[in-house]
Chains A and B, each alone.
Chain A
Amino acid sequence: MKRAAAVILLVLLADQALKVWVKLTFTIGQHVPEHLDSWYYLHFIENEGMAFGMKLGGEYGKLALTLLRIAAVIGIGYALRRMIAQGASMLQVISVSLVFAGALGNIIDSTFYGMVFSASTPHDVAQFLPADGGYAGLFHGAVVDMFHFPIWRGQLPMWLPRIGGSYFEYSAGRCSTSPMRPSRWASCSS
């Protein structure tokens, strides 16, 4: 039980510390390092949906997604407690603790960040506890993402219909638009 709690606490602390730092330091779309040929970036975007950029429509979709996440975390927490009680192996306990901590970390963003931060824009950095309130209500915040590892990038062949000749980047993360290249581009992630 103590090791599971330690893993959960460690992941949550690291996750929230980095997210708060990025949120209060970066403008939307800002990336470090500045040059474009790096194999990694810290690139601030806000994800309003699920993994792979999938979304549930509208305001109620966002609320449903957050409540679904909370239900999933309650289920994972219950399973973890049962596993520990039944004497599961250390590897099993640590693996489920990691999943639990990760899910909880993203729930904190989508539940509270809308209330405690102002909106991040391409020109303005967010403020903590702004005087005129946060950018969204309870359960309507966006998840802060920042890791960007391009796996392959280059110019697509001209014979491809519609996207031929555009800059393409395949990276670990999700499908998203990239402000890094000024010309035509196409981007998809795993």
Chain B
Amino acid sequence: MFNIADAAITVGILLFVIAHRRMKHAAPEAAIDAMPSDPATTGNDPVSPTVNP
């Protein structure tokens, strides 16, 4: 037997696990997005040594 309070605790724990997993998945993607772009592949490095002032 259970009541609304027990159901809320169970649903809350499940949602917390889902939120935690989402956060763990989102963290590496955010780290990749935050990495500096590679000038060899993008070609838009503003201080490239090949450019002669």
Residue numbers in A under 8 Å from B22 (CB-CB): 89, 91
Q: Lowest 6 CB-CB distances: which A-B pairs, in order?
A: A98-B12, A105-B5, A95-B15, A102-B9, A102-B8, A99-B12
Say yes or no: is A146 at the interface (Cβ < 8 Å to chain B): yes
Say yes or no: is A140 at the interface (Cβ < 8 Å to chain B): no
Name which of A13-21, A56-64, A113-121 contacts chain B.
A13-21
Say yes or no: is B1 at the interface (Cβ < 8 Å to chain A): yes
8 Å CB contact of B4 from A14, A47, A92: A14
Which residue of B is nearest A94, CB measured? B15
Question: How many chain-B residues does the 8 Å CB contact rule pick out?
Answer: 21
Residue numbers in A under 8 Å from B3 (CB-CB): 15, 18-19, 105-106, 143-147
Main secondary structure of the interface of A (DSSP, over half): helix
Say yes or no: is A166 at the interface (Cβ < 8 Å to chain B): no
A4-B16 Cα distance, complex, nearest whole Å: 14
Q: A146 near B5 (CB under 8 angstroms)?
A: no
Given A95-B12, A96-B12 in contact, is the A89-B19 Cβ separation under 8 Å?
yes
A144-B4 Cα distance, complex, nearest whole Å: 10
Q: A148 near B1 (CB under 8 angstroms)?
A: yes
Q: B2 near A174 (CB under 8 angstroms)?
A: yes
